[in-house]
């Protein structure tokens, strides 16, 4: 794995730091989010929480380099992030990333090597090894020859995570990854996300199920067009203003 994604650093002590300062993103005259300020490092799992339209997807798409900020800055490893980079993998919502053309799981995972190899060059031994390693980590060996569109939602999610691993992405961002998964696939994905954090990746995901947020994530950013709170997940979830924004009653989170 890449230098950030090894076991040298405890969460919070990795030098690979994502810093967002005064971020403001608009769609024409619509302000989607404003005054977002947080910093986190590889090894953490950060939940983006907030009601519908709060700006979670907009933040993810901006960090992925797909949208431009109106104001503010994003620093990754001390450098301004101005576009997409292979160090950041973005998984859109499941229903938005059906391939729609015949492509196998192994081919999807191999696409993760394109930033390393280039489009027209033959893959090298190292690329093939990285693809096989990613397939093994995501337990996809038996599905590697299947068409991606013939997989269940949970299996497809694992294939796209394997592509992120093959890409050697440090940051893995997922938009509502649990939506549409059955209970078993959701539990499996929760373990996979925790494992990615343990391997040293920074996992950032928008999340709607407040009953599971503390079990899966260690940090939370709560937003409603503006940042409401950021910090360690249990501390954030206990704040009165967070409970109001998320529509929680006292004690509701733990039932």
Residues lying near ligand ATP in the complex (CB under 6 A) are found at 27, 30, 32, 50, 52-58, 206
Task: Name the burial class of residue 99, with classes exposed (0-12), middle (13-18) and buried (19+) by CB atoms within 10 angstroms of its CB.
Answer: middle
Which residue's CB is nearer to ligand ATP, number 27 or number 136? 27
Phi-psi region of 4 (alpha: psi -120 to 50; beta: other; left: phi over 0): alpha
Alpha helices in the chain (DSSP H): 56-63, 105-111, 114-117, 125-137, 153-166, 183-198, 213-216, 233-237, 240-246
Q: Which is nearer to ligand ATP, 56 or 113 (CB)?
A: 56
Burial of 108 (0-12, 13-18, 19+ CB in 10 A): buried
Spatial distance between the Cα atoms of 188 and 196, rounded to a whole number of angstroms: 12
Q: Comparing C-alpha atoms, which of 206, 230, 235, 169 is closest to residue 40?
A: 230
Least Å distance between CB 231 and ligand ATP?
Answer: 19
Based on CB atoms, which residue is closest to ligand ATP, 202 or 222?
222
Closest approach of ligand ATP to the CB of residue 30, in Å? 5
Cβ nearer to ligand ATP, comparing 140 with 217: 217
What's the min distance (Å) between Cβ of 60 and ligand ATP?
A: 8
Q: Which two tokens stand for residue 246?
A: 């998320």
What is the smallest separation between the CB atom of 18 and ligand ATP, expressed in angstroms?
Answer: 18
Dist CA 126 CA 107 (whole Å): 16
Question: Could you tell me the smallest distance in angstroms from the CB atom of residue 47 to ligand ATP?
Answer: 12
The least CB distance from residue 119 to ligand ATP, in Å, is 29
44/57 with CB nearer ligand ATP: 57
Nearest to 196 by CA among 10, 36, 43: 43
- Which CB atom, from 32 or from 108, has the smaller least distance to ligand ATP? 32
């Amino acid at each position: 794995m890449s230098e950030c994604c090894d076991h040298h650093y405890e969460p919070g002590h990795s030098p690979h730091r994502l810093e967002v300062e005064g971020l403001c993103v608009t769609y024409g005259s619509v302000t989607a989010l404003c005054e977002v300020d947080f910093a986190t490092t590889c090894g953490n799992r950060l939940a983006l929480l907030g009601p519908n339209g709060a700006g979670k997807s907009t933040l993810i798409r901006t960090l992925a380099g797909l949208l431009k900020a109106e104001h503010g800055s994003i620093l990754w490893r001390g450098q301004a992030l101005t576009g997409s980079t292979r160090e950041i993998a973005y998984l859109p919502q499941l229903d938005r990333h059906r391939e729609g053309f015949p492509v196998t799981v192994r081919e999807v995972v191999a696409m993760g090597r394109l930033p390393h190899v280039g489009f027209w060059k033959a893959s090298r031994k190292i690329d093939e090894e990285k693809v096989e390693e990613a397939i093994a980590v995501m337990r996809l060996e038996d599905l590697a020859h299947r068409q991606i569109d013939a997989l269940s939602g949970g299996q497809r999610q694992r294939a796209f995570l394997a592509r992120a691993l093959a890409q050697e992405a440090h940051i893995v961002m997922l938009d509502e990854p649990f939506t549409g998964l059955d209970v078993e696939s959701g539990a499996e994905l929760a373990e996979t996300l925790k494992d990615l954090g343990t391997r040293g990746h920074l996992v950032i995901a928008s999340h709607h199920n407040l009953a599971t947020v503390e079990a899966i994530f260690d940090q939370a950013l709560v937003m409603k067009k503006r940042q409401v709170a950021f910090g360690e997940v249990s501390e954030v979830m206990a704040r009165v203003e967070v409970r109001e924004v998320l529509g929680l009653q006292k004690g509701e989170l733990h039932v």
